[in-house]
Structure 1
């Protein structure tokens, strides 16, 4: 049996197979019993016909005669569907009437003898009676044989079996319907658990309701135990992120501060160049640590989407532009913000959305110029329709090779080796977009430059 076969299919199989076997057995038994009963009934009719035939025998002028026409005999036991053959003769062998070719019974007895015989290409059922009679005062034994073809017996048996088979089929269909209903009702608690799990947020790890039948209670308890372990694991991971943030950011900040102080005191010292390199490395380490922490915090499996709220994306973009504008203008770049008049709110986390917009602006500022410093415009635009809100961050730079577009969201992948960076900016953007059920698209602009589009479902 296939291990992936559904419980419903297994139950139907194990209900259907025994029922089918019992139905076949019942049909075979019924056929045997019906054939036996019908044969007994027809044998009684055949015996009655023979006895009635015996009463038609009389003596005339010392001779035995019969006053019954053949065609009246044919209606006695055959229901008009078969053939009747008879023979009346004395025990000494003289035929009084009937068909002389009928086979004699296997034994002679004063009791009725039933036997099967073939005559004139017909399979017959015959009864033989030996009766005492007087002919002119002289005793004589007369043998009466009446035979009937078996068509009527077979027809009646077949009619009964067809009717019984039809009843079996109808009963089987009713039984299958009842079984399907019973299975559906029996599996309803499992379906309820499955539906409850499907409707949950991926981050909702609260225990399932254990008010369920005792057969599936162990399954629910196991799921609840697994959810509890996962919740503890996530809490431990989040605590680790907080510890890493505290343990790494503090010493890196101290290194940067000490380096800046040393540079002021040693402006003419031979160690000045080394201190500058230490400062650069410390700033890169500080930036990388911040990005790593953001990457860890924005993993979709660690974010509880049930806590997302209605967010004004216009305000988020304003804050991100205000945060990045000083550095943008310092590098002789321009920052533009374009929006429609009405932008509906989206469901999201305001902090993560601010990280998303900030990362996109900083990514364009660092990498838009390729090997040269970028001096163009970075445009942040918001558009919307009835069902979605689209955020677009674009530049007028050199763009990205088409073969490398699909790699830009990989961790630590850096398309532009000429500028500093951690290689995590677009990876963080992708995770935040996934958490907010948004679509992320990275494309080159036809007029030149690179464009990132994030499409959010509107509330």
Structure 2
């Protein structure tokens, strides 16, 4: 799966790459322009220095001399960094002054010529020119070469480029900072939408507010349309559950009624045996259909938290005990509820929570005895612990093997095949607990038996529960 890049990284990439390319192009252009301008300036100064030498030449007894007392050569880059070399000689004659080994110009000197040479291990930029001079009655041509080492040019160019590069880096940092601020404020509406969605309950399908910039409006519209489709799908599923409940319960109830009537009107042993088996199967089918419908209705994505209310678990457990007491006592079992005082209320759906408690009681009644019918007590307790309300339903039966504890909430899993049931009771309990942000746990009691605990978040701090 390819790495997911954030919008911020994409924007920084598309801002940073062009800026970096432009900065590199600007530095290269600046380097070329500065190099040309500096070379032209140095060359002009070098030519001016060569032309000033003409005023230093004089004749003594027909020989050409140079006034060394007043002679000096200065260029823009002298600054103590460069080296100056010169040579003056009569064309077709001898040396007047300077360095004999300084290289000759590459072409004839009809006009001043600039060229690069190497002398005494130095890279030099030289200018060569020729001018006429009157030596008595004789006209002669004098060749002048002035050369300067290139260190000063390189130093000046480097100084300019270092300064320019530093300014470019500072400008780049400022540009990136401004871009980050602009991206942060530009993405603020998306962050607000993201936070609004994270704060929502998984079951809250109300439309998002569309007070957002026009660029984000299509996203909000798409999210709201998706929520509308999900809500309609949930409503359709709930309606289907109701239809299935009606369509299946009616024929199963008719089968049970006809079976009971038939049992009263016939005495044939074989027929009665078949009718009893039909009655057992229909009762099992009725229970399974009822559990399947409860399982479908308690799916967490179908539970609407907006209809939750404050539920008194004490009263709810009393109601569950009242509804199951008759069947419990008919089996020779006992049902006890340790009625506590000042238990905080919890937020939830009272009908679903009632189903949860009844399922836990019925599960203990059916499976606590293992292969034999259970004849012991079923205890219900409510306690408080660490800002939670703990509901515990326990028995004193055979317990559950440790290896099977993790499978108890799987659909249709039955750890006790000897007892009737659909294998959906604890799966329904788990879904109801999940929808109420409660934690479901199982344990075998040290003194024998099995306990199921559901930890609900308390509505108010436990320290204030007596107020």
Q: How far did residue 92 of structure 1 move?
A: 2.3
After the TM superposition, which residues 217-236 of structure 1 pair with which residues of structure 2 at under 5 Å, given as runs?
217-236=217-236
Q: Is the 8 A contact 2:314 2:340 kept in 1?
A: no
Taking the aligned partners of 2:116 and 2:302, their CA distance within structure 1 comes to 88
Taking the aligned partners of 1:142 and 1:208, their CA distance within structure 2 comes to 93
Q: Is the 8 A contact 1:394 1:451 kept in 2?
A: yes
Q: What is the TM-score normalised by the length of structure 2?
A: 0.91
1:80 partner SS: coil
Taking the aligned partners of 2:126 and 2:275, their CA distance within structure 1 comes to 127
Residue 405 of structure 1 corresponds to which residue in structure 2? 405
Taking the aligned partners of 1:267 and 1:362, their CA distance within structure 2 comes to 34
Taking the aligned partners of 1:77 and 1:179, their CA distance within structure 2 comes to 42
For residues 281-340 of structure 1, what are the alpha-carbon distances to aligned partners after superposition, in whole Å with 9 as ceiling and x for unaligned?
Answer: 232222222211211110111111122122222222221122222222222222222365
1:298 aligns with 2:298: yes
Q: Please say which of residues 115-124 and 52-61 is displaced more in the overlay.
A: 52-61
For residues 107-142 of structure 1, what are the alpha-carbon distances to aligned partners after superposition, in whole Å with 9 as ceiling and x for unaligned?
Answer: 333532211111011100011221222223432222
Residue 321 of structure 2 corresponds to which residue in structure 1? 321
Residue 279 of structure 2 corresponds to which residue in structure 1? 279
Q: What is the TM-score normalised by the length of structure 1?
A: 0.93
1:147 aligns with 2:150: no
CA change 1:169–1:199 in 2 (3 A) is: same
1:73 partner SS: coil
Taking the aligned partners of 2:42 and 2:255, their CA distance within structure 1 comes to 115
Q: How far did residue 432 of structure 1 move?
A: 0.3
CA change 1:76–1:40 in 2 (3 A) is: closer
Q: Is the 8 A contact 1:90 1:143 kept in 2?
A: yes
Taking the aligned partners of 1:234 and 1:157, their CA distance within structure 2 comes to 74
CA change 1:76–1:268 in 2 (3 A) is: closer
After the TM superposition, which residues 312-351 of structure 1 pair with which residues of structure 2 at under 5 Å, given as runs?
312-338=312-338, 340-351=340-351
CA change 1:140–1:19 in 2 (3 A) is: same
Q: How far did residue 220 of structure 1 move?
A: 3.0
Across the aligned residues of Structure 1 and Structure 2, the Cα RMSD in angstroms comes to: 2.4
Residue 10 of structure 2 corresponds to which residue in structure 1? 10
Q: How far did residue 250 of structure 1 move?
A: 2.8
Residue 30 of structure 1 corresponds to which residue in structure 2? 30
After the TM superposition, which residues 97-176 of structure 1 pair with which residues of structure 2 at under 5 Å, given as runs?
97-109=97-109, 111-176=111-176
1:55 partner SS: helix
Q: Please say which of residues 429-438 and 133-142 is displaced more in the overlay.
A: 133-142
Q: How far did residue 373 of structure 1 move?
A: 1.1
Q: Which runs of 5+ in 1 are unaligned?
A: none
Q: Please say which of residues 92-101 and 177-186 is displaced more in the overlay.
A: 177-186
Residue 443 of structure 2 corresponds to which residue in structure 1? 443
Q: How far did residue 241 of structure 1 move?
A: 1.1
CA change 1:282–1:67 in 2 (3 A) is: same
CA change 1:78–1:340 in 2 (3 A) is: farther
